[in-house]
Structure 1
Amino acid sequence: MAPRDPPQHTPEQLRWLVTAQARPGDPGSATVGVTARNAMIPELAFDMMVDWHPGAEAPDVEGRALIILSLLFKELAAECDRIAATRFSEG
């Protein structure tokens, strides 16, 4: 099965509402709490550890965490597509 092109329009039930809040941790680090929800998933919440560089403000740290998260989820989505394609081809 070939990779699918992303849809041109995201259906409303797939749109996410996302919040992120940085909390200082050990010196040089932070925990960013991320909460996401959509019509199909009432709540998806977790914490990520990220670096908090000197001079950075909370929005910088939260933004970095969200970018890292987006990369992780893109890889997870690609892996899910690969596994699903294998299972569908096996029948």
Structure 2
Amino acid sequence: MVFPGDFLQFLTGGHLLSTPHKVRLNTRERFAMADFHEPTFDAWVEPLKADAAVAPIHYGTHFTNMFMRCYPKRITTRRIDEKGLLGKLPTLSEVA
């Protein structure tokens, strides 16, 4: 089984939709193995079929935004907000 995520939905222009995360307690024992793939943190990603109306996405910014939404009270999230670090992410690869 493949459960597409947000980036696979973006890459395919919505052809494959991101699967909502659902966890249900099971009464029987079961085993699952997950394997996650993602681009490098400093990658710029655009849909496979070029569309001038869709701007490329910086993966590090996308990932950090997702982290901050999921964990708004963490000290890391507060520090990113307070220091305005989110806007600096896309330029980090230019400095390295």
| Alignment TM-score > 0.5, same fold | no
Q: Provide TM-score, normalisation by structure 2.
A: 0.22
Q: Provide TM-score, normalisation by structure 1.
A: 0.22
